[in-house]
A = this chain, B = another copy of it.
């Protein structure tokens, strides 16, 4: 196991070229948020936007449009029941985040199947939350492209078949190799499994033990892979920064709320972008 280092983060978050526009930073669609879990997709979209994704579209239950816009007018919305429209838009996306607050009913299941069937390289996928539960219930072919899954330990148990107690780095890595996707296993010390290596995140605080933290991480990863070329480095950098911000906030707070992390992403990214590389 290797730690995620500040060197990785600073080589990833580089100064933006002056002559660039929003198209250069990616079009991202976040899919999730049913009538009960709308907050999850709001938090994920907020994280993606503050992470610097160029254009953010949220496909969700229409009951979430107003609360989303009240918090984040920067995002566009579509009703995720309109599958044709969604798939049409999906074709133009660089990144797809599916799962936060999606739920596990039949509609969610069918939507996941449709999205996985439509997605294709070089689109990048972040699969989180309910989508992982659905995948665990019924496997389906994944597109041959960059994919990251972001389970917490229980979701990873469902997905990998490894009981929480037996989730050692070696067992997890074996499972990741079988699945063929990058895996971020969220825990006290989050570990990240790629085809080549096992990483651990040095940061993290129990002040983050509150609902919505995972949705925020999924959105951050989405925002990072939408603008940074190296997929693994982008995922690792998002994981690192998510907890680094929380650690700083926890120096004066017993509990850190997800939105407090998101609003601070641009400042932290700026700091890393200023580090001179040799």
Contacts and interface: CB of A to CB of B under 8 A. Distances in A.
Contacts of A22: 209-211, 213
A72 B39 contact: yes
A253 interface: yes
Report how many copies the assembly holds.
Answer: 4
A76 interface: yes
A165 to B, nearest CB: 13
B74 A21 contact: no
A17 B209 CA distance: 11
A259 to B, nearest CB: 7
A239 interface: no
A252 interface: yes
A36 B70 contact: no
Interface stretch (A109-117, A120-128, A141-149, A262-270): A262-270
A221 interface: no
A90 interface: no
Contacts of A24: 209
